[in-house]
Structure 1
Amino acid sequence: MLDRPEIVCICGSTRFVDEMSAANRDLTFAGVIVLAPGVFLRARDREAGGAITAEQKTALDALHLRKIDLADRVLVVNPGGYIGESTSREIAYARATGKPVSFTGPS
């Protein structure tokens, strides 16, 4: 038994920001510490000049792997079963480090 709340890292495509926010809210209300992506740039943000650089993307990806390291388990938010390239890498990393991985949609 842990003497602290469970820590869950949310992974998934940033196109699912609303679904990730809902999962974050639900887990938080259930007493879980949630680690999630900190930057969500939607298409309209990129069109408005809010794009991130390749260097920033690399740094954000590495930071998210550290969040997985801190977590007890990973929850993949994947409506309709969609799993993109970055999320696939995160799932592989989590499994390689022994973290349980679950999905909100079909895996």
Structure 2
Amino acid sequence: MPDRPEIVCLCGSIRFADEMSAATRDLTFAGVIVVAPGVFPRAAAHEAGEPITDEQPITDEQKAALAALHLRKIDLADRVLVVNPGGYIGESTSREIAYARAAGKPISFTDPA
């Protein structure tokens, strides 16, 4: 094992929370440090048909702060893994991919379709 484990940043729509969780698990068992979105708003739960909790909705200001924080996670990472079942890449994920490319980060996709 190297002195420092590889760091991978997961990017993708928060509607794919289950797929991100599975990727986190697989990578972690492979000895990788995973950084990923840390907040999954109520809208994502609703879109996924899951029960909605009493969690407060996220404001536009909080969304902007979370988006900026995710870019810092990309900065920390050795590479980026885009979780994109069915090949789906939304607007936010497209921005994150462009940022990672500009930073010279290697990028791979769970579904290259």
- Normalising by structure 1, what TM-score? 0.92
| Residue of structure 1 in register with 2:95 after alignment | 89
Give the CA deviation at 1:40: 0.7
TM-score by length of 2: 0.87
Distance 1:23 1:49, change over 3 A: closer
Q: Aligned partners of 1:92, 1:2: CA distance in 2, in Å?
A: 29
Q: Cα RMSD over matched residues?
A: 1.8
- The equivalent residue for 1:32 is 32
Inter-partner Cα distance in structure 1 for 2:67 and 2:79? 18
**Percent of residue pairs identical:** 78
Q: Hey, which bits of structure 1, 4+ residues long, moved more than 4 A?
A: none
- Shift, 1:51, TM fit: 1.8
What secondary structure is seen at the aligned counterpart in 1 of 2:26? Answer: helix
Q: How many residues align?
A: 106
Pick closer, same or farther for the CA change 1:49–1:25 going to 2, 3 Å: closer
**Secondary structure at the counterpart of residue 10 of structure 2:** strand
C-alpha displacement of 1:49? 6.3
Please tell me whether residue 57 in structure 1 is matched to residue 63 in structure 2.
yes
Q: Retained in 2: the 8 A contact 1:45–1:51?
A: no
**Stretches of structure 2 lacking an aligned partner (at least 5 in a row):** none
Counterpart residue number, 1:45 = 52
Residue of structure 2 aligned with 1:75, choices 70, 81, 88: 81
Partner of 1:99: 105
**SS state of the match for residue 80, structure 2?**
strand
Unaligned runs of 5+ in 1: none
Distance in 1 (alpha carbons) for counterparts of 2:2 and 2:89: 31
Mean alpha-carbon deviation: is it higher for 48-57 or for 79-88? 48-57
